Structure 1
Amino acid sequence: MRFLTVLILALTLFSAPLAAQDTDSEEPGGFIVNLLEKALSGDNRYIQVTGLEGALSSHARVKQITIADDDGVWLTINDAELEWSRLALLRRRFSVETLTAGEIVVARAPTPIEQDPELPTPEAEPFSLPELPVAVNIDKLEVGRLELAEPVMGIAAELSIDGTLSLADGTLDSSLEITRLDRPSDRIDLKAGYSNENSHLSLDLDVQEDAGGLMSEMLKIPDAPALALTAKGEGPLDDFTADIALASDGEDRLSGQVQLKALSDDDGTDDGSDATAERQSIGFAALLSGDLRPLMAPEYREFFGSETRLDVAGRSDGGGAMSISRLDLRSQALELAGTLDVAEGGRIRSARLDGAITPPAGDNVVLPISGPPTSIEGARLALRLDEDAGGAWRLRLDLDRLARPGLELAHGEIGADGVLDQSSGFSIKGTIDGALTGLDLKDDALNAAVGKDITLAGRFERPDAESLKLEDITVSGADYAARISGLIDGLGSGFHMIGNAEITARDLGRFSKLAGRPLGGSVTARLSGDGTPLGGFFDVTLDASAENLKSGIAQLDPLIAGKSELSAAAARDENGLRLSRFTLDGRALSAEATADLKTRDSTATFTARLDDLGRVVSQLSGPVTISGDLAKKEATWSGTVNAQGPGESTATLTGRYGEDGTADVDFDAAFSEAHRFIPEIRGIVKAKGHAESDGSLWRIATRLDGPAGSFADLTGLIENDGDADLQFNASLARIERFVPDFPGTVTAKGAATRSGSVWAVDANATGPAAISTSLSGTLDESTMQADMRADGQLQLAAANRFMTPNSVQGLARFNLALRGKPGLEALSGTVSTSGASLALPSVPTALTGIDATVQLASGRAQVTAGGTLRDGGTIRVSGPIALTPPMDANLTAQLNDLVITDHVSIESSANGQLAFRGPLLGGGTLSGVIDFGETNINIAALSGAVGAAPIPNIRHIGEPAAARRTRDFAGLISSGNGEGGPAIGLDLQLNAHRRVFVRGRGLQAELGGAVHVGGTTRNVVPSGQIELLRGTFDILGRRLALDHGLITMQGQLQPVMDFAASSSTSEGTATLQISGPLDAPKIEVTSDPERPSEEALAMLLFGEDFTSLSPIRIAQIASSLSTLSGKGGGFMTRLREGLGLDSLDIGTDASGSGQLGVGNYISDNIYTDVSVNARGETELNLNLDLTESLTAKGTADNAGETSLGLFYERDY
C-alpha cells in the first residue's frame, strides 16, 4: 500500500496545476506515466504503470502497477481506484472518499539494496507525528485481495484489507481490519490514535487465528495451535499503560504490562530567574511472564520451564541520557541480569551483565537456537564496564560440555579486558584469550588435524569506527600455530590491510587422514605486506621453509625430501600484476621465475632444475633442466620452452597464441635413453611436430623416428567444434629385437574421423609370421555407444617379455565385436589357438599341443583348453569365467597320466580332477582329488649333501642392468609383498597309498598314505602323512631295519621327512635319524645312555666303543659318512634300475654273514621280496594289501618254516 499511496500523492501533485483542464485520461507511455515511472524508480527498483485513466479527475483508475528489481517482478497491483475531492486540496486537505485495489500480489520479498552502514545518532528524540504539508483523510481504504506467495513468509496466504486513515493537524486516527480470505476467522484488528497536542495515545490490537494459522505456521509452533494476541492501552505518554496477552488454544501463555511514566529531575542549573529549570524524563517498565512451553519445540521446553519472566525498568531523558536500572530475564535454565547507564551524547557510564545457564536436572539442556540440536551442561557470562575506573571493561564466557551433531566440547572459555575511551569518539582496546579443551569433531580425520585442545591469545585496538588493529592474534594447537598482526583501515570504505601472518606446522602427519594420504614433515610460512581486498590491490612477500616433506605420492616425495626454501614477492596495482621474485631451493628441486602481467604487454620467465631424474623415474639418472620465456604483445602470446635431460635428451617447444584463436606451435625432441625402458631399442628416438590454427581449424603434423628406420606419423585436421579427420602411418622394423623367432617389420596405418559426436575408425596392421589385424567401427561420445569390430591373428610369443621366465609359442586368432556402451559386457567374439606351447621353467615342465578356445559374450568367457605335458600325460580345462570383478569362475581341470619329474630326484605320475568355484580375485575355492602312481624320490640327488645349508640371500651392489635383467627373466627377483595374490580356499585330497619309494644315502624305504590340503593359498593347512610301509638303512655293510618313517607337508606345502633306525647292544641303544626338509635333510646319531655322536655311531655300526676301533674300522666309518653325504651308492642305484627291481640290497645279516635281498611289486597291491645269505638260507616274504588299513603278510624259507599274519594300521 505504501507504493499505491505514493502513486496517488504523485497524481495529486500533477493534478493541482492542471485542475482547470478537461483532459482526464493518460495514454500508455504518456507524459504523466513516464514521469511517474522515472520519479518512483531507483536503484534496483523499476516501476511500470499500465492503463492510467482520469489522472486529473476526481475518479482516477490504474489497470496495473508492477514493481521489479534485478531478479524480476515481486509486487503487482491490479485495478486500483481513487475517488477524491480536488477542491479540498486547495484548502491543503487531501480528502479521499475511496482508495481501493482489486488485487495485490506479493510474489517474494524484494532483493535488498546494499547501503553504506549509518550509525544512529546517539541522542534520543521524543516521539511525535510527522507534520505533512497537507492533511490526509481517507474515508475508505480497501484491498479486495492481497496474495502473499510462499517465498514471502514460508506459507502462502490470501488476505483482504479494510480501513480508514486520518492524519491532520498533528492528530492520527486510524482503523485497519485484515482478514484471511481462505480462513475468515483469522483476522487482525488495529485501532490506533495519537495527538501531538496532549500526547494522548490509544492502542487496540487484536489478533485472532484458528489452528494452522499464518503466524503459528510461520513461527513453526508445534502443532500450529490457535493463537490470540492482544495489546490494549490508552492515556498520555507520561502516564501510559498497555496490557499485553498471548494465548494458544484458549490458554494464557504470556501476559503483562508495559508502562510509560513521566519523571521530573532538577538539573541543578540557574539561569538567573526565580524558577528552577526542569527537564522532562520518561520512565519505562515492562513485566511479562508466562508458561511458554506449549509454544516451543519439545526439546526446548526444559530450558524454559513452567515460567519465563522478563522484568525491565529504566528511564529516558529528553537530553539523550538513558539508564536501565533493572534487567532480569529468567527461565528454568537461564538467569540473566544487568544494568546500563548512558549519559547525554551516548557516552556509556557503566554497564553490567551477568548470566548463567544451569540445567535443571543437573545434566544438560538443549539451547533454544536455530540449527541442529545443541545441548550444554553449563555456561557463565560476565560483562563489566566502568567509566569512573578509566573506562576499564572486562568480558568472560565459560562453557561446559557443549554438544551438537559433529561437535563435542568438554570445556571452552574466552576472556577479554581492556579500556574504552569515549573522550573523542568510541575507541576500544584490549587483550583476548581463550581455550577449547576436549574438542571432538566426530570425524577421525578432523580430530587428527585439529587436535583436542586449542588456545587463542592476542591484543586488539579499534581507535575509531574506520580501523582495527590486531597484535599477535594467535591460534595454537598441539604442534601448529597461526599468528596475525596488522592494521585494517577503512572498514566502511576500502578495507585496506597492512600486516603479516605466520603459520607453523611441526608435523604435517596430523593432516594425513584429512588429505587421504600419508603426509609428513614440517612447514613454516610468513606472509607480509599490504592490500585492499575489495579493490584487488596488494603488495606482499611470502617466505616459507619445509623439512622432510612427505606427500604419499611416490613420484613426488623424492623431489621434496630434505630441506626446502621458498621465497616470493608479488604486487598488483592499476599497472598490472608483477611477480618480482619466485625462488624455490630444495635438495632435489630448484626453480626461479619472474613475471610482469598487463592487459596488453606481458613477460614471464622461469627455470626449474631437478638434480637427478632417477628420483622420479628409476630407469633414468642425471639432471634435467626446463626453462622458458613467454611474452605478450597486444593480443598475442608467444614463447619458447627448452628442456635438457640425461644423455643427449633434449626438447624444444615454441609457439604463438592470439586472443582471436589463431595459433602456431612447433616442437622438436630427442630421447637417447629409450633403451633403459626397452633394452632392445638402442639409439636416439626423435619427435617433431607442427600445429597451427586459423581460429576455427587446427592442422597438425607429427612424426616419431626411431632406430632401424622405425617411424610413426600422425596428420590431420581438428575443428573448434570437435570434428576431426586424422590419419596415422607407423612402421616398427626388426621386430626380432622383441620376438627373436619372427624377424621382419610390423606396419600399421589407418584413419579416425569425428563428425558431430561420432568417431569412425578404420585401421589395420600386418607383420611377419602371419601377423595381421584390422579394426573398424564407430563410437558415439554423446551416448557412449560403440559399434566396433576387430579381426586378425597374433603371435603369442609377443607376450613373452611380460611373462618371463615363462614363455609361450603359437598363433592366436581373434574375431571380436564391441557393441553398446564400452565395457566387457558389450564385448563378444572368439579367441582361439591351436598347437601352441607353454614353457614353465619354475615347475619345471612345459605344455605342448595346446588347443584353446575362448568364447566371449555378456561379460563372460567360456574357456575350453587342453594340452600335453612334455614328459607325458594330458590336462584339459573348461568352464565359464566372469570378466568383471570379482571374476566368478566355474572351472574344471582333468589330469590324465601326468608325468611329474624334475629329471634329477623326483619322478611320479598323477591322475585326478580339480575344480575351481568362486571369484578368481579372492574368495574362490580350489578342490579335487589327485591320485599319484609309483613315486621315486632320490634324496641323494635332492640336496647334494646331508645338512648342506641353502644359499643365503645375496645383496647385489652395483649390479649391471644386463645382469639384473637376466636374474629378472630367471624369476630370481621378488617384487611382491609376500602375500602371493588373492586368498584362494583349498580343499585338495592327495592320495599315494603305496609305492612311494625313498632311496639314497643307504636308505631304502617304501611309504604310502594321503595328505589333505586345506586353508587358503595365504595360509595353507595340510594334514595327513605318507608313512613307512617297509624299509632298511644300509651303512658300512650293516643293514638296519627302519623303526620309523614318514613324509608330511608343512607350511606352504614344504615336504618334510623323518626316518629313524636303531640298534641295541650290551652297551645300550644307538639311533640314526634322517629328518628335515626333503631338499635339505639333516642326519643325527644319538644313543641311550647318552654318548658323544662319534661313539654313538661306532656303537651303531660295530657294537664297540669308539676308542677300541681299529684303523680299518675308522676308515669304514669315513666310507659310511661318504654314503650319508650322498657321494656313494650310485652303482647300486644303476644296478637296481637295470634289473627292473623296486628294491635291491647287498649287505650282511645280524650274524655278520653276507646277504642279498631283492623286492618288487607284482601288482598294485602285492609286494614280494627274497633274501639269500652266505649260509645258503633263503627267505620269501609276500605282502598283500587287502584295504588301505589291512595287510596280510606271509613268510616261507628253505628250512620249511612258514608264517602268516594280518596287520591293521590306521593313521590318526
Structure 2
Amino acid sequence: MKAVRYGLIGLAGLVVLLLAGVAAGYAWLQSAGGRQWLASTIEGAASGPDMTLTLGAIEGGIPFDLTVASAEVADSQGRWLSLQGLHIRLSPGALLARRVSLEALEAARIEVVRAPVGTRPPQPEPADERQSASLLPQLPVGIEVRRLAVDELRLGEALLGEPAVLRIGGDARLERGGGGLDSHLRVDRIDDKPGQAVLAAAFDPARNRLDLDLKASEPEGGVIARTLSIPGLPPVTVTLDGAGPLDDWKGALVAEAQGRGRLTADAAVRRIADGHAVTLTAGGDLPAVLAGSSAALVGPDPALNATVVVAPDGGLALRPVALRAAAGTASLTGTVSADHKRLALTWEAAAGPDSALHGMTSGLSWREGMASGSVEGTLDDLAVALTAVLRDVAAGDAALSPVAGPEVRLELRSRMDTGKGDVRIGRLALDAAGAKAGAEGQVGGWGQTADLALSLVADDLSKLSALAGRPLGGALSLKGPVRRGATARSRPNCRARRATCPPAPRPMPCWATARR
C-alpha cells in the first residue's frame, strides 16, 4: 500500500511539474523576450532560398488571441507581399476535439505587388502509395474559420493589368479525414470600379452531395474583361449553379460580356459501372469576345463536348473530348492513371476546305489537312507518334505544285523522357512528290545536345526546275550527321546520280547542289 501511495504522490508531483512548466512557458511567451523569440522562430522556419519572411511586433495573448502588426515576404527581386494588422483568435477548447477552430482570421490590409519569382526548379511530389479520388483533402484534424475578413486587399498592376482594391469576407469549415466542406466567400471591389463575387460551396460525403452557387458581376473595364483581353472591356456577369448527389448531379454556367458575346456550359455527373461519368457541353457566341485572329479561328458557333469517366481510384478515361470550331475539328481519347504519370492517349484533328485556317495562309494554298497522333507510356518513357497530311498544296502554283504533289506527309515516331528532355527519334520523315527529307537520332535536354542523321532524297530533279528557275535533271541524295555539343561537328555525305544542270554562276558546296 505504501508503494502505491508513494507512486500516486510521485505521479501527482510529475503532473504538477508539467503544469508548472506549461504555465511558465505560457507566461514567458507573454514577455518581450518570448515574443521576440517566437517571431524569430517563425521567420526562420518560413524563410528559404526563394523566400524571406519578416515579422513586426506580436501582441495580444499568445497563442490563442494574437495580433501581428506587420509582415513582409520577399524573394530574390525584393518585396512582393506585405500585410498589416493580422489578427488570429483561436478556440482552445476545439483542440480537444481534434479541430482547429479560428474564431477570427482578420487583416486590416494586404498588398500583393506582383507574383513571386522562384530561382529553384520545383521539387517532384513524393509518390503516394494510396491514391484517393475524394474531392476533399484527408486532414488529420478539422479546420474551421468562423470569420474571415480582409478590410483592404491591394493587387498590383503587374497581376491584373491595372491596380485593384478588394474587400474579402467569408467563413469555412473542413472536417477531418475529408468528412465535409461548407464554405462561403464574398469579394467586393471597393475602388472606382465596383464589382462583386459571391461563392457558396458545400460537399457532404455522407450524402455524396455537392452544392455550388457562384455569382459575379463587374462594370466596364473590370478585372475579368481585362484578364481575358475582351475587346472594349465590357461589363461582365458570371453565374454558376449546381446541386445534387454526385450519382446524378447537374450544373450550369452562364458567362456574358454585355454587347459582345455569351458562353453557356452544362455539366452533369452520373454514376456508372466504371465510376462516375462527367459530361460537359459548352458553346456560345464568342467571336466578338475574342481579339485578333482568335475570333476567326473560333467562329460563330463553336462547341465543346466532353465525357470523362473518373474511376474509384482517381484514374481518368476520356470518351472522348471533342471540339468544333471554324478552324476545324479535334478530338482526344484515352486514359490517364490515378497518379497522372502514365498516359495512353490518341488524338485527331482535321481542317477541311471551309476551314478558317485558309485565310491565315494566304501565301500558300491547300485543300484540306488532317493529323493524328498518340502518346503512351510513363512520363520518363513516353512513346510519341504523329502523322500529318496536307493535300493539294499550292495546286495553282506552277513552281510549287510539282514539288508538293497530291499530298505532303509528315511522320514522327519517338520516345521521350519529359523530366530530362531527352528525345529518341526513331523516324522523322517529310515526304512530297519532289523530295523526301528524314532524320533519326537523339536530342538531349530539350535541344541542348543533339546527335542526328539527316537525309534528303530527290529521285527526279526535273520536278524542281520551275522552282529553281532553270532546267534540272537526274537525282540527288544527301546524307550526313548533325551534332550539337562542345565537340560537335557535322559534314554531310553527298551523292548525285545522272544530275544535269547548266553551270552554276559561282562555286557551291556539294551539299547545296547536285554534281553534274
- One-letter identity of the residue aligned with 1:71: Q
Please name the residue that 2:288 is paired with. 294
Alignment of 1:531-680 (within 5 A): none
Alignment of 1:582-981 (within 5 A): none
Please name the residue that 1:111 is paired with. 117
Distance 1:467 1:316, change over 3 A: farther
Please name the residue that 1:269 is paired with. none
The alignment status of 1:434 with 2:430, answered yes or no, reads yes
Distance 1:138 1:44, change over 3 A: same
8 Å contact from structure 2 (residues 439, 454) kept in 1: yes
1:34: Cα distance to partner? 0.9
Deviations 1:506-564 (A, max 9, x none): 9xxxxxxxxxxxx9755689xxxxxxxxxxxxxxxxxxxxxxxxxxxxxxxxxxxxxxx
Please name the residue that 2:333 is paired with. 339
Alignment of 1:148-297 (within 5 A): 148-169=155-176, 170-183=179-192, 185-249=194-258, 253-265=262-274, 281-297=275-291
The match for 1:415 among 387, 410, 418 is 410
Distance 1:26 1:225, change over 3 A: farther
The match for 1:472 among 440, 453, 471 is 453
- One-letter identity of the residue aligned with 2:297: F
Point out the more displaced range, 352-361 or 323-332: 352-361
1:139: Cα distance to partner? 1.5
- One-letter identity of the residue aligned with 1:61: T
Measure, in 1, the Cα distance between the counterparts of 2:80 and 2:303: 40
Please name the residue that 2:349 is paired with. 354
The match for 2:80 among 60, 74, 93 is 74
The match for 1:459 among 440, 448, 454 is 440
Distance 1:350 1:88, change over 3 A: closer
The match for 1:395 among 387, 393, 397 is 387
Alignment of 1:1141-1152 (within 5 A): none
Query: Alignment length, in residue pairs?
Result: 444
Measure, in 2, the Cα distance between the counterparts of 1:187 and 1:502: 65
State the TM-score, normalized to the length of structure 1: 0.33
1:498: Cα distance to partner? 8.2
1:113: Cα distance to partner? 3.5
8 Å contact from structure 1 (residues 60, 81) kept in 2: yes
Measure, in 1, the Cα distance between the counterparts of 2:317 and 2:81: 43
The match for 2:99 among 93, 114, 129 is 93
What SS class does the counterpart of residue 155 from structure 1 fall into? coil
1:158: Cα distance to partner? 1.0
Deviations 1:114-155 (A, max 9, x none): 315748979974024223343222111111111111112222
Distance 1:401 1:66, change over 3 A: farther
What SS class does the counterpart of residue 35 from structure 1 fall into? helix
- Give the number of the structure whose residues are more often strand, by fraction: 1
Measure, in 2, the Cα distance between the counterparts of 1:317 and 1:420: 28
Measure, in 2, the Cα distance between the counterparts of 1:254 and 1:62: 44
Please name the residue that 1:612 is paired with. none
The match for 1:502 among 470, 491, 508 is 491
- One-letter identity of the residue aligned with 1:98: A
1:111: Cα distance to partner? 0.8
Distance 1:104 1:306, change over 3 A: same
What SS class does the counterpart of residue 293 from structure 1 fall into? coil
Measure, in 2, the Cα distance between the counterparts of 1:186 and 1:253: 19
1:500: Cα distance to partner? 4.8
8 Å contact from structure 1 (residues 76, 106) kept in 2: yes
Please name the residue that 1:381 is paired with. 370
The alignment status of 1:328 with 2:309, answered yes or no, reads no
1:220: Cα distance to partner? 1.4
1:53: Cα distance to partner? 1.4
Measure, in 2, the Cα distance between the counterparts of 1:253 and 1:366: 26
Measure, in 2, the Cα distance between the counterparts of 1:316 and 1:498: 50
What SS class does the counterpart of residue 54 from structure 1 fall into? strand
- One-letter identity of the residue aligned with 1:239: D
Measure, in 1, the Cα distance between the counterparts of 2:337 and 2:363: 39
Distance 1:376 1:234, change over 3 A: farther
1:311: Cα distance to partner? 0.6
Query: Which runs of 5 or more structure 2 residues have no equivalent in the other structure?
Result: 1-20, 377-382, 395-400, 459-467, 469-475, 496-504, 512-516
1:377: Cα distance to partner? 6.2
- One-letter identity of the residue aligned with 2:254: A
- One-letter identity of the residue aligned with 2:70: Q
8 Å contact from structure 1 (residues 338, 354) kept in 2: no
Deviations 1:625-679 (A, max 9, x none): xxxxxxxxxxxxxxxxxxxxxxxxxxxxxxxxxxxxxxxxxxxxxxxxxxxxxxx
What SS class does the counterpart of residue 365 from structure 1 fall into? helix
8 Å contact from structure 1 (residues 392, 419) kept in 2: yes
Measure, in 2, the Cα distance between the counterparts of 1:456 and 1:414: 11
Query: Which runs of 5 or more structure 1 residues have no equivalent in the other structure?
Result: 1-14, 266-280, 368-372, 403-408, 438-452, 489-495, 507-518, 526-1212
Distance 1:383 1:162, change over 3 A: same
Measure, in 2, the Cα distance between the counterparts of 1:359 and 1:420: 35
1:200: Cα distance to partner? 2.2
Measure, in 1, the Cα distance between the counterparts of 2:184 and 2:175: 15
The alignment status of 1:130 with 2:137, answered yes or no, reads yes
Question: Comparing both chains, which one has the higher relative contact order based on Cα–Cα distances under 8 Å and sequence gaps of 6 or more?
Answer: 2
What SS class does the counterpart of residue 221 from structure 1 fall into? coil
1:434: Cα distance to partner? 2.9
- One-letter identity of the residue aligned with 1:49: L
The match for 1:49 among 33, 51, 55 is 55
8 Å contact from structure 1 (residues 93, 136) kept in 2: yes
1:58: Cα distance to partner? 3.6
Please name the residue that 2:152 is paired with. 145
Measure, in 1, the Cα distance between the counterparts of 2:30 and 2:307: 58
1:208: Cα distance to partner? 0.9
8 Å contact from structure 1 (residues 26, 33) kept in 2: no
